[in-house]
């Protein structure tokens, strides 16, 4: 089976998009892992676009991490899906509703190559104290369709970021793994962020991670919305409305290339 992989970047977060609307495609977790490891295609998440299961929405998506595991949410992926829809004229509107395993995305082409993704999330933070690589951590955990654990910068944590992130994936407190974010506060409206993603490792950017640190900071009154979240290769503007419980992430998207691969697992 030949498949076109459309590679996009959401400020460095590499997303492979597969069009399952105009093509009848069925891709399994095993095949996603095969594409990443056998074909050597670099991506953080792979997203399959599917016809809508509910006529009130524009389409559905299925999200995989590069190890083949299922992801319920991917905000940079959402923004890249919006760009793919516009690039390929799949829908006439600038705004789209997309169903995921973790809820509903509302996508908007703000201007040119800037796209936003908004979704509803219940504001519940659970603080967990865990040990990783001999370091005691206090993680503020929040579920955005995928679980995030956030801590504000500690130099000891920062120096061992990768080891700690990997260790947390095997911690009994997180049987399904966790997205681990370390934030450095610049001021009340800006932070720097590093994220170790479950199923993908350290990424150049993580949209849901940006939403998680902004929400934690806002709810704990460390930050004030909107929050600029800086990654190695770009920034996202996160806006959180506590009354409606709607959070949105806005930033640049970029088309990289299309790869044609043969899947035969």
Domain ranges of the chain: 2-120+252-262, 126-244
- Fold match between 2-120+252-262 and 126-244? yes
Tokens found for residue 120: 């509803």
Predicted confidence at residue 201, as pLDDT, reads 86
pLDDT in tens, 27-58: 899 999 988 888 888 999 999 999 999 999 99
In CATH, the architecture of 126-244 is: Roll (3.10)
Predicted confidence at residue 174, as pLDDT, reads 95
Which DSSP string do the residues of 122-158 spell out, in sequence order?
----EEEEEEETTEEEEEEEEESSSEEEEEE--HHHH
Low-confidence ranges of the chain (pLDDT < 70): 264-265
Predicted confidence at residue 62, as pLDDT, reads 97
- The average confidence (pLDDT) of the chain is 93
Predicted confidence at residue 143, as pLDDT, reads 92
Domain 2-120+252-262, CATH = 3.10.310.10
Q: Which residues are catalytic, by number?
A: 74, 206
pTM listed for this prediction: 0.90
């Amino acid at each position: 089976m030949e498949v076109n992989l459309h590679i996009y970047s959401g400020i460095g977060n590499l997303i492979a998009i597969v069009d399952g609307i105009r093509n009848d495609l069925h891709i399994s977790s095993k095949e996603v892992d095969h594409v990443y490891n056998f074909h050597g295609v670099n991506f953080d998440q792979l997203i399959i676009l599917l016809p809508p299961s509910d006529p009130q929405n524009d389409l559905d998506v299925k999200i995989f991490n590069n190890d083949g595991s299922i992801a319920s949410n991917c905000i940079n992926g959402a923004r890249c899906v919006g760009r793919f829809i516009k690039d390929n004229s799949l829908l006439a509107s600038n705004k789209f509703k997309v169903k995921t395993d973790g809820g509903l995305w509302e996508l908007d082409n703000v201007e040119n190559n800037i796209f936003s993704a908004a979704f509803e999330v219940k504001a519940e933070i659970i603080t967990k104290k865990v040990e990783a690589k001999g370091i005691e951590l206090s993680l503020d955990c929040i579920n955005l369709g995928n679980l995030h654990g956030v801590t504000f910068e500690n130099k000891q944590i920062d120096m061992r970021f990768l080891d700690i992130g990997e260790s947390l994936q095997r911690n009994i407190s997180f049987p399904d793994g966790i997205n681990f974010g370390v934030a450095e506060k610049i001021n009340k409206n800006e932070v720097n962020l590093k994220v170790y993603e479950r199923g993908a490792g350290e990424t150049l950017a993580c949209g849901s991670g940006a939403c998680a640190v902004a929400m934690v900071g806002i709810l704990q009154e460390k930050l004030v919305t909107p929050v600029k979240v800086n990654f190695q290769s770009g920034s996202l503007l996160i806006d959180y409305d506590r009354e409606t419980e709607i959070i949105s992430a806005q930033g640049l998207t970029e088309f990289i290339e299309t790869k044609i691969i043969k899947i035969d697992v």
